[in-house]
Amino acid sequence: MKRILSSLAIMVLLTCTSKQSFSQLDLSEDPYYSRKFIFEAGTSFGVMNCLTDLGGRKGDGKKFIKDLNLGNTSPAGTVYYSVSYKNAIALRSEATWGVVKANDAVLKGVKETVSGRYERNLSFRSTIFEASILAEIHPRFFKHYVRNEKYPRLSPYLAGGIGYFIFNPRAKLQGSWVDLKPLSTEGEGFKEYPDRKPYKLKQFNFPVGAGIKYKLTDMVNLSAEFIYRILNTDYLDDVSTRYISPSLFQNYLTGDQVAQAIALSDRQKELNPTHSTTVGDIRGNPKNNDAYFSFNFKIGIIF
């Protein structure tokens, strides 16, 4: 009888010990990974840049990063709130602030190679305010993790969605910043150019990008992320097509705006007082819309 009781006691002890040991190895009981829905709020700090008709690099204007000038990089930041399902799919709302700018003057050292872009002598600066909704896809969490198998702390992801942004291109004239949109520098809205419609300073965009997230603790996530905005406008920098006759501005503008439009629509004489611009000369390239993008480091708190 004692032998039977002893055997039962040993079996119970082994069973309890086995369950306890198995539980310690079962990472599905991690409070972070075991929840179906995870709520996160955070902020980020980073930089913003743009690709427009202005500035650029050596040679003829090229697409995407081949014409990117890193000297135009400016600060940017975000605040966001997200909810993720089983760590695999997330939906987040985000507010972004940043600055974009470009200047033909950066081409001075290579002006012989840039087909007159330096001599064009245009520039712009704009603050960006953006609200967006993005989906995140975390491929590593589409895998089914079994017991005793470690969950990844590092998770690369893809992101994409829709945004709504506000911009306002400005240029400096005699020490003061002047709004460019009201000046219709390329004849936007003029009856002489019915195909040049006035552009809107509030528009939708389509942010797409990628990032990598690291689970620092059960309550803190760190991320690095690149987001590129596809735009429906070529007027982020107020430059898109060809020069118009300066005499037209007095038919549509009044007061100081006439002089400002004449001065800011064609700035080539500031570099070469003898220059004479012909109506219809190339000012920008309407075939490619503008774009802006950001690179941010994020820190998020888990609720």
Q: Which range, of 34-43, 118-127, 179-188, 196-205, averages the lowest pLDDT?
A: 34-43
- Cβ atoms within 10 A of the Cβ of 91, count? 14
- Read off the pLDDT of each residue in 150-173 and give the average, rounded to a whole number: 95
- Read off the pLDDT of each residue in 96-116 and give the average, rounded to a whole number: 92
Average pLDDT, the chain: 88
- Cβ atoms within 10 A of the Cβ of 146, count? 8
- Cβ atoms within 10 A of the Cβ of 299, count? 13
Contact 29, 78 (CB under 8 A): no
Residue with more model confidence, 58 or 1 = 58
- Read off the pLDDT of each residue in 181-200 and give the average, rounded to a whole number: 97
Which CATH number is correct for 31-302, 3.40.250.10, 3.40.50.1100, 2.40.160.20, 3.40.50.720?
Answer: 2.40.160.20
Highest-confidence range of 17-21, 23-27, 85-89, 90-94, by mean pLDDT? Answer: 90-94
Q: Whose CA is closest to 103, among 92, 114, 112?
A: 114
Answer yes or no: is pLDDT of 54 > 50. yes
In percent, how much of the chain has pLDDT > 70?
A: 84
User: In the chain, what are the domain boundaries?
Assistant: 1-30, 31-302
Contact 198, 184 (CB under 8 A): yes
Give the pLDDT confidence score for residue 67 in this predicted structure: 73
Q: How confident is the model at residue 243 (pLDDT cuts 50, 70, 90)?
A: very high
Give the pLDDT confidence score for residue 255 in this predicted structure: 92
Give the pLDDT confidence score for residue 57 in this predicted structure: 72
Reported as a single tens digit per residue, the pLDDT across 284-299 is 999 989 999 999 999 9
Answer yes or no: is pLDDT of 217 > 70. yes
Answer yes or no: is pLDDT of 119 > 70. yes
